[in-house]
């Protein structure tokens, strides 16, 4: 063995580690106007955006299993679902959303992107955001796609997201918007009545640049 081989191997390991670190850091940069950038609901946080926000800098911490078990199972299933929190979309739905997103698969966009987001359909006690009857939904559009419209649904009173898979029949449409011009930040006023406890806010964002649709689950508590 050459005396230089251990040094070469050490340099190779160092290069691989630096490459992995660079990939992680790139995921933390809020790109603007790039081809790979998309977006998500950031308040109340979508499931995978919330998991990235809480644990992105500490995603291997075993304490997550006890403190945030739904995020733990999501990180274990596919960490890319969180690193790519902005990519939960389908192309070519042609507005027929129930045909391409079956019951029980609403939070993964019908198991889009090769199943990357399947863990988001897992039934359980996801962390919630406290909201009032009237609240403002905020969406971050990294690529400034714009929107043909947003549909915002809230689960019906009596639906229990900790024990029941989400279906279309569980949703009630509370807000439909018109077009939004290209921007990075959108605010949508949502009004509800008679809701209490845990619910899922389901946002459909129809982007304007092409037939690209985002399907986003946010867990809330009408305290």
Average pLDDT over residues 143-153: 95
Give the residue from 148, 137, 130 showing the smallest Cα distance to 186: 137
> For residue 88, is pLDDT > 70?
yes
Q: Given its phi and psi angles, is residue 159 left (phi above 0), alpha (psi -120 to 50 degrees) or beta?
A: beta
Which tokens go with 3?
Answer: 């005396």
Report yes or no: 139 and 180 within 8 Å, Cβ to Cβ: no
- pLDDT of 1 reads 53
CATH fourth-level superfamily of 33-222: chitin-binding protein cbp21 (2.70.50.50)
DSSP sequence for 41-64? EEETBBHHHHHHHHHTTSTT-TTH
Task: Look over the chain and give the mean of its residue pLDDT values, rounded to a whole number.
Answer: 88
* 200-215 pLDDT, tens digit each: 999 999 999 999 999 9
Average pLDDT over residues 71-92: 97
Spatial separation of the C-alpha atoms in residues 149 and 178, rounded to whole Å? 5
Spatial separation of the C-alpha atoms in residues 86 and 57, rounded to whole Å? 17
pTM of the predicted protein model:
0.84
């Amino acid at each position: 063995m050459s005396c230089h081989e251990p040094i070469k191997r050490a340099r190779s390991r160092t290069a691989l580690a630096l490459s992995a670190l660079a990939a992680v850091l790139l995921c933390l940069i809020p790109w603007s106007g790039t081809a790979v950038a998309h977006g998500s609901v950031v308040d109340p946080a979508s499931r995978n955006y919330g998991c990235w926000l809480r644990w992105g800098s500490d995603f291997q911490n075993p304490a997550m299993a006890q403190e945030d078990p739904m995020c733990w199972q999501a990180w274990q299933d596919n960490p890319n679902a969180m690193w790519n929190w902005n990519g939960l979309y389908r192309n070519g739905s042609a507005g027929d959303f129930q045909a391409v997103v079956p019951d029980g698969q609403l939070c993964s966009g019908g198991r889009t992107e090769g199943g990357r987001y399947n863990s988001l359909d897992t039934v359980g006690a996801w962390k919630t955001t406290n909201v009032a009857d009237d609240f403002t939904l905020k969406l971050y559009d990294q690529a400034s796609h714009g929107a043909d419209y947003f549909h915002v649904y809230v689960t019906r009173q009596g639906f229990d997201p900790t024990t029941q898979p989400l279906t279309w029949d569980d949703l009630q449409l509370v807000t439909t918007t018109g077009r939004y011009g290209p921007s990075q930040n959108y605010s949508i006023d949502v009004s509800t009545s008679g809701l209490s406890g845990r619910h899922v806010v389901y946002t459909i964002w129809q982007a304007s640049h092409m037939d690209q649709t985002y399907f986003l689950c946010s867990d809330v508590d009408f305290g």
